[in-house]
Amino acid sequence: MHTKHLLLASLLFFSSFVSAQEPEVKKDYWGNGNLKSEKHYQSGKLEGPLTRWYKTGQKKSEYHHKAGKKDGPWTKWYKSGNKKSEGHYKEGEIDGLMVWWYENGEKKWQGVFVDGKKQ
């Protein structure tokens, strides 16, 4: 009987651990039904893409996360759909080339960052 209780307790413990590790996607919606944001979580931390949309349905921004920190490429768009800015994060810090554009597509600014510091 003791072995059955031990086995059951072990099974419950490991099943709760495994379920805590499963990825989760959270979605928020605008009042008009359009998607507002989509966030991916792993073990309670942001993991993977975080995407936001304007009320019109046009994509507004996309960032990537690893273990809760921004990590990877990011892009922002104007309501018109034209690209507004893009860059890269590494372990929560801006890293690499960052570029901003005017809404008409003309380049506004660019700079290189290393570990969050402009070079």
Tens of pLDDT along 51-105? 999 999 999 999 999 999 999 999 999 999 999 999 999 999 999 999 999 999 9
> Could you give the CA distance from residue 91 to residue 70 in angstroms, rounded to a whole number?
6
Q: Is the pLDDT of residue 14 over 90?
A: no
What is the set of domains in the chain, with CATH numbers?
Answer: 23-118 (2.20.110.10)
Q: Is the pLDDT of residue 107 over 60?
A: yes
| CB-count burial class (<10 Å; 0-12, 13-18, 19+) for 53 | buried
Report phi then psi at 61, rounded to 5: -160, 155
Tens of pLDDT along 15-56? 555 555 789 999 999 999 999 999 999 999 999 999 999 999
